[in-house]
A and B are shown apart, each in its own frame.
Chain A
Amino acid sequence: MKTINNPIFHFFLAALTVVCLPLFLRSGVLASEILIFGLAVAACNLLLGFTGLLSFGQGIFFGVGSYVAGILLTRYQIPVPLMLLLSVVLGALIAVAVGWLSIRRQGVYFVMLTLAFSQFFFFLAYSFSGLTGGDNGILDVPRPVIAGFDFTNLWSYYWFVAVIFLAVFALMLRTTQSTFGRTLSAIRENEARASAVGFPVRAFKIAAFAISGAVTALAGALHAMLIGVAPLSSIEYHTSEIILIMTIIGGSGNLFASLLGAGTYMLLADVLSTIWPRWLLLLGVALIVVALFMQRGLWGLIETLVSHITATSKRTPNAATERPLHRQADGGKA
């Protein structure tokens, strides 16, 4: 099981996905959306899977990134790399503010606070229509042309997104494996103990929010350039919901599971929507199945399959050596 839960293996799987998507999908939009939502879901996973925070506020950061792209590219013609940097910074700052206030409460109250912030930012965007375009959003968001490289074509934009995706995915993998990531896991496992051993738990949660907000805003900005619009729907509660559903479907144990969740959701939506206009109903059924029978998500299912396959080789030597070792240690002088 250690092999499939190795971060290098996860990066390899992510890179393989990036290479394979153009081979199997005809739609560049769908392929790019999988990677973009893969980023947003990985950022959500950092909060849910690694820190134990169920945030309904992810749509805020996604929408902020989307509006930053829309406003800066259509009204100020700011270079795309600078715009992306600003979306990351603003996403992180807003996430710090939302996180700082929300983590003051735990459990259901924390969830309700993030939900309330989600609605608050939606109405802000709706009300300040001069800035955000209100119901219409911001139209004609251009795709980038950087240093002579033209990414306006759908598939060339896919590779632009792919490079950013792999770079950010690698950084996030590094984050989860770092002493910071391990501390987040410790907080998720036992917050009281984490505090008792000396960790300022709030600061760590806010830092997790900042990283999550930054990455989600980046995804939002990339999405606005992909579809050419910064729509009001990107900051809606529904976006938070979609990101959370993708996170749960993929599994919250590791970051590749996030890409798996995003990919599965997007592909299912694509297929089901052509079969039946009310496809969201079928998606609801799929989510019920995951919640009832696959609580570790699709990645958990893969883990179970792999452990079944390797069970025979695992059973023989280890079971015999582990028990005496246990007893010996137990009986050792303290």
Chain B
Amino acid sequence: MSIHNEALKRSGHSSGKHAPAPHPVALETSELTVAYGSFLAVRGVSLSVRRNSIHSIIGPNGAGKTTLFHALTGRVRPSAGSIRLDDKDISHTRDDDRVRLGIARSFQVTSLFPNLSVQENLRLASQGRTPWQALAPWRSINHNKEAMATAGEVMERLSLTQVAGRAAGELSHGQQRRLEVGMALAARPRVILMDEPTSGMGVDDIEAMKELIRSLAADHTVIFVEHNMGIVMNISDTVTVMRAGQKLVEGTPAEIRDDPEVRRAYLGNMITGDIA
């Protein structure tokens, strides 16, 4: 607990007090615990993610980052503790319901609808906000004008307009990774959760992705799990370091880089990259 409090103080947050509106904290976890049988993959993690900030979660393999990520997306249910989105408890809300509340995610391994066109992928992602409308078998796909418009806007933003009609599975890896992020964007979320967004990318594509994530913070809150320390240290406002299922430390990239405990956890040689 002392580590959590200290970390929160360092990052200038207070988990106990909230302004009425707009809530300064977009997403918050309190003593979040996820157990797989008797094994505690995440133990009492408290996070406080500021609105419109970029918050990264790092840690060595087995630190519990992915489990924490799954708990935030709703894929796994917490065993104890709570998750609050804009001060609303969503701890036991299903993953598809969380989309309607304003949380969207991207996957580490590209996860698209490979035989559907780029436009259709994005239209479906946008339609996911009002999924019950899609249950009507008499409604044409053009019925939801907003979803069509959103798909167009996202394609424009991600430079995918020229491949709008192409099957997602036929795109290059870089394009697929952009579409992966686009699928999250199309849900018009307030909070975007990204699981290793640069996974498997080439150098040029990584730079483009970095700029994209940075630009997302203008109108979204971004939480991402990432192994690429260059990106983490460059674009994050806050970094949470995890080890053995617990939050080791939290702070700005500069604080994290100089933290002796973090250096020990990473054997001193992984925290690199320029600080923006």
The answer to the question of A196 belonging to the interface, with a C-beta cut-off of 8 Å to chain B, is: yes
Report A190 CB to chain B, min CB distance, Å.
5
B183 touches A204 (CB 8 A): no
Interface centre among A180, A196, A326 (most CB of B within 10 A): A196
CB contact between B211 and one of A178, A199, A334 (< 8 Å): that residue: A334
Given A196-B105, A197-B125, A329-B160, residue A189 in contact with residue B135 (CB < 8 A): no
Give 10 CB contacts A-B under 8 Å.
Answer: A180-B136, A193-B112, A196-B104, A197-B125, A197-B187, A198-B187, A199-B124, A200-B96, A200-B131, A207-B135
- A197 CA to B160 CA in the complex, in Å? 19
The answer to the question of A179 belonging to the interface, with a C-beta cut-off of 8 Å to chain B, is: yes
A177 touches B140 (CB 8 A): yes
Given A179-B140, A183-B134, A196-B73, residue A333 in contact with residue B159 (CB < 8 A): yes
The answer to the question of B269 belonging to the interface, with a C-beta cut-off of 8 Å to chain A, is: no
B127 touches A179 (CB 8 A): yes
List, in ascending order, chain A residues with CB within 8 A of B187's CB. 197-198
List, in ascending order, chain A residues with CB within 8 A of B212's CB. 334
Query: 9 closest A-B pairs (Cβ-Cβ)?
Result: A198-B128, A198-B99, A332-B159, A197-B128, A334-B208, A175-B137, A189-B113, A180-B137, A329-B162
Report A245 CB to chain B, min CB distance, Å.
25
Report A211 CB to chain B, min CB distance, Å.
7
Question: B106-132: which residues lie under 8 A (CB-CB) from chain A?
Answer: 107, 111-116, 120, 124-125, 127-129, 131-132
The answer to the question of A325 belonging to the interface, with a C-beta cut-off of 8 Å to chain B, is: yes
Question: A230-276: which residues lie under 8 A (CB-CB) from chain B?
Answer: none
Report B168 CB to chain A, min CB distance, Å.
9
The answer to the question of A312 belonging to the interface, with a C-beta cut-off of 8 Å to chain B, is: no
The answer to the question of A186 belonging to the interface, with a C-beta cut-off of 8 Å to chain B, is: yes
A193 touches B107 (CB 8 A): yes
List, in ascending order, chain A residues with CB within 8 A of B112's CB. 190, 193
Chain A contact surface mostly? helix
A198 touches B136 (CB 8 A): no
B139 touches A329 (CB 8 A): no
Question: A307-334: which residues lie under 8 A (CB-CB) from chain B?
Answer: 325-326, 328-330, 332-334
List, in ascending order, chain A residues with CB within 8 A of B94's CB. 200
The answer to the question of A127 belonging to the interface, with a C-beta cut-off of 8 Å to chain B, is: no
B163 touches A325 (CB 8 A): yes
- A193 CA to B184 CA in the complex, in Å? 10
Given A178-B139, A333-B208, residue A183 in contact with residue B127 (CB < 8 A): yes
B99 touches A197 (CB 8 A): yes
B111 touches A328 (CB 8 A): no
A179 touches B159 (CB 8 A): no
A198 touches B111 (CB 8 A): no
Given A179-B127, A197-B125, residue A185 in contact with residue B159 (CB < 8 A): no
Contact with A along B165-180 (1 / 0, CB 8 A): 0000000101100100
CB contact between B120 and one of A178, A182, A325, A326 (< 8 Å): that residue: A182
A183 touches B124 (CB 8 A): yes
Given A196-B111, A325-B163, residue A179 in contact with residue B133 (CB < 8 A): yes
List, in ascending order, chain B residues with CB within 8 A of A211's CB. 137
The answer to the question of B40 belonging to the interface, with a C-beta cut-off of 8 Å to chain A, is: no
**Across the two chains, which residue of chain B brings its CB closest to A180?**
B137
Report A84 CB to chain B, min CB distance, Å.
19
List, in ascending order, chain A residues with CB within 8 A of B229's CB. none
Report B145 CB to chain A, min CB distance, Å.
12
